[in-house]
Amino acid sequence: MASQGSDDTMITAAIVKQMQANMDKKRKDKESKLLKLIQRDIDDALNTTREQFAKTVNDFQAEYENFQLKLAEIEDGIRKTWVHVAKLFDKHKKGDEQESNRIAQAEAIRRESQEQGLQLQKNAIDMHDRQCRFIKTKVQNGHMNS
């Protein structure tokens, strides 16, 4: 009879061992599925961030191109002012004080337009640099946290 009890104990131990192995396998399978889901979510988040970064860069480039067009318009105005000043100068080399005042005003307008154009250019470049640094920092920080 004692051998029957030890056989039952061995069978029970084998069943417990088999159940534990099955539970461990199921746990590992669930962990593996969870890790795959987490990896997929991380990949999706990174892809979204990359897409947003690319869109932002494209938006900045479009804004910069728009700025360059506006700057070109201002520079064209400056050139036209210079041409006008040169024509006035040629026409009235010995002009009177009134003509000299008009030329001075045209020069003041040209100078002011040029300063405005240069300030616009500087502001746009500064803004572009700040935004690029900001995005780069955000992307790097987001990537490091992943």
Do the Cβ atoms of 71 and 117 come closer than 8 Å? Answer: yes
Return the pLDDT at 88.
80
Query: To which residue do tokens 């307008």 refer?
Result: 109
Q: Give the span between the Cα atoms of 20 and 69, in whole angstroms.
A: 73
Q: How confident is the model at residue 100 (pLDDT cuts 50, 70, 90)?
A: confident
Give the number of other CB atoms < 10 A from CB of residue 1: 4
Average pLDDT over residues 111-122: 92
Q: What is the pTM of this model?
A: 0.38
Least confident of 11-20, 24-33, 88-97: 88-97
